[in-house]
Amino acid sequence: MLALTSPVRTPFHRVPAGAKLLGLAGFTFGVALIDAPALMLPPLALVAVLYAICGARFAVSGLRALKPLWIFVAVILVWHALTDDLARGAMLAARILATVALANLVTMTTRLEDLIAVVDTLLRPLERLGLRPGLIGFAIALVLRFTPVLLDKGRALAEAWRARSPRRAGWRVVIPLTLVTLDDAEHVAEALKARGGVPARSRND
């Protein structure tokens, strides 16, 4: 769900990564405490305003990145409708939509290097226990970088299947997507090996 840094400059690009991550954590914690559907309207409105502040081009790009999320929202709503608890389903769906949308905004307005630096700083005290902050930061960078890439490849495989068969692709693209993922992982591993391996610390040290 997380997009790469947006080329569209916004006021939030100037906000420090640590402050944005702290705000995201506080927002997520506060939303998790809400237990009434009506009370989810202000958080959703807040996120919508934040996207609007960034401009129409940014907002459209951000909403497009959230497209896969609507599947989960629909499943939650349908399930709770079938169990006669649609109000709770609406609350959960709104909670997921608000938190993921805000997280997406943070990643779109923050350089990956800055996010890694924050994680590296937070985990630095654990070095005494043998933990390598640079390794964890690098793993986070890979997840953020390759999640949208794999989503795009999954969509491409599904479209290729639909072009050749009237049936839905469904689970049939799982094996090809797994093979593509393994191939990409092998290429990344070879590239890392050629560059001396994973850094023990971030580049900002």
Whether residue 17 is found in the same domain as residue 78:
yes
pLDDT value, residue 201: 54
DSSP character at residue 3: P
On the question of pLDDT at 192 being above 80, the answer is no
User: Average of pLDDT values for 134-139?
Assistant: 74
Whether residue 18 is found in the same domain as residue 104:
yes
Whether residue 153 is found in the same domain as residue 88:
no
Residue where a domain terminates, one of 84, 110, 136: 110
If one counts every other C-beta atom within 10 angstroms of the C-beta of residue 30, the result is 11
Alpha carbons 26 and 102: distance in angstroms, whole number: 11
Residue where a domain terminates, one of 110, 143, 165: 110
Ordered DSSP codes for 100-154: HHHHHHHHHTS-HHHHHHHHHHHHGGGGGGT--HHHHHHHHHHHHHHHHHHHHHH
User: Average of pLDDT values for 177-200?
Assistant: 77
The residue ranking higher by pLDDT, 204 or 181, is 181
Whether residue 97 is found in the same domain as residue 128:
no
Residue 1 lies in a domain: no
Whether residue 79 is found in the same domain as residue 133:
no
Whether residue 106 is found in the same domain as residue 16:
yes
- To the nearest 10 degrees (0 to 180), the angle between helices 56-65 and 86-108 is 120
CB 126 within 8 A of CB 43: no
- Give the residue numbers spanning the domain of 67: 11-110
Q: What is the radius of gyration, based on Cα positions, of the chain?
A: 20
Whether residue 161 is found in the same domain as residue 93:
no
Residue where a domain terminates, one of 86, 110, 134: 110
Whether residue 168 is found in the same domain as residue 86:
no
Of all residues in the chain, the percent with pLDDT exceeding 90 is 29
Whether residue 125 is found in the same domain as residue 168:
yes
Number of domain units in the chain: 2
> Residues 6 or more apart from 32 whose CB is under 8 A from it?
95
Could you tell me the pTM of the whole model?
0.71
